[in-house]
Structure 1
């Protein structure tokens, strides 16, 4: 049954996506729980804010890599002759969605994970690398001007579907179209508190000292 194939794809993607690299790296190298620092988030931004810039960069890279590998793994699963074949695009779409869900809701951390920005980048590169790079450029530009990681993340996520549909591409299947739209919405929704702080002028701006932020 094709349902079994999709189930295997989703479980592998969720498992890869749920690896909490930020939590593991800070625990391993600093013997601390990143959830007790800053915003309490396990993502790269909070790792950097905790004072571990190198670990923050590594967290971002590994979180993006797991998203990329999770989507690529869908193709590897379809090479298993014991499973019924399904459309590759559909399998990749399901893998992308469940990799993000794994990062945001990791079973190992009581389903309290990150906001999915880095993992979404890895997923997007696997699905459509050129629109993903364009969205990354948006992130870098907005962050360079505003110094708000949250604002840059929100606008970059929102821009990806635009680039994905405007850039030359092969015909997208319905599941792929849904995932291209849903994943950015999930990432933006996870930033609801940041949006509230941005509107109130209380959002953390990178480069501010703790004293000036207070």
Structure 2
């Protein structure tokens, strides 16, 4: 193994995940810190809520791309024979995980970031696109029925490892993907713990996007 190249790409994956799309877009183009408005979260959902549909979509797509790009760096290791081919999935998971951690704890913004759901989706799209697309459908259905983004995110996150575990079409050759799926679901639950408390108390805000105006 090429330890130096692996270390460089690990750092790169974290730095890609640390790109604070919502914060930077809000500051540079709208003149506000997204973390001081709405839910105070620097993710796509709060961007939709505070700034509107167009900036929210931009943030969501870039955050998804962050996860996909960081996870895909593992292919560079394979290209340069830095890792054995049968270890590719492990390094995809590690690099994707680093991107998610970077999104939640971004070095550029004093380690105060978002919840990582969109970046996690990008990671899953890079590793198992078919199951990830099913999870997107599940998220949309739950969102339409409940109007809760947080609930849709958590159910979709759980659906990913469950699909891998129970559905023959998605069952991976390497069971480590299933294990990581449940770990990532746990991360989504942890980052949504305040939402869970509000859901239980009946105080969680339902999806109600307000179109913001550029300053």
On whether the aligned pair clears a TM of 0.5, the verdict is yes
Distance 2:161 2:16 in 1: 24
* Cross-structure match for 1:95: 95
The reply on whether 1:163 has 2:163 as its aligned counterpart is yes
List aligned pairs for 1:1-214, cutoff 5 A.
Answer: 1=1, 3-80=3-80, 83=82, 85=84, 87-165=87-165, 166=167, 167-172=169-174, 174=176, 176-207=177-208
Structure 1, unaligned runs of 5 or more: 210-214
Distance 1:170 1:47 in 2: 35
How high is the TM-score relative to the length of structure 2? Answer: 0.89
Q: CA deviation at 1:145?
A: 0.6
How high is the TM-score relative to the length of structure 1? Answer: 0.89
Q: Secondary structure at the match of 2:80?
A: coil
Structure 2, unaligned runs of 5 or more: 211-215
Q: How many residues end up aligned between the 2 structures?
A: 207
Q: CA deviation at 1:13?
A: 1.1
Distance 2:5 2:180 in 1: 18
Q: Structure 1 residues 33 and 168, CA, compared in 2 at 3 Å: closer, same or farther?
A: closer
Distance 1:168 1:13 in 2: 26
Indicate if the aligned counterparts of 2:161 and 2:181 stay in contact, CA closer than 8 A. Answer: yes
Distance 1:36 1:207 in 2: 18
Distance 1:2 1:44 in 2: 36
Distance 2:145 2:186 in 1: 23
Distance 1:199 1:13 in 2: 35
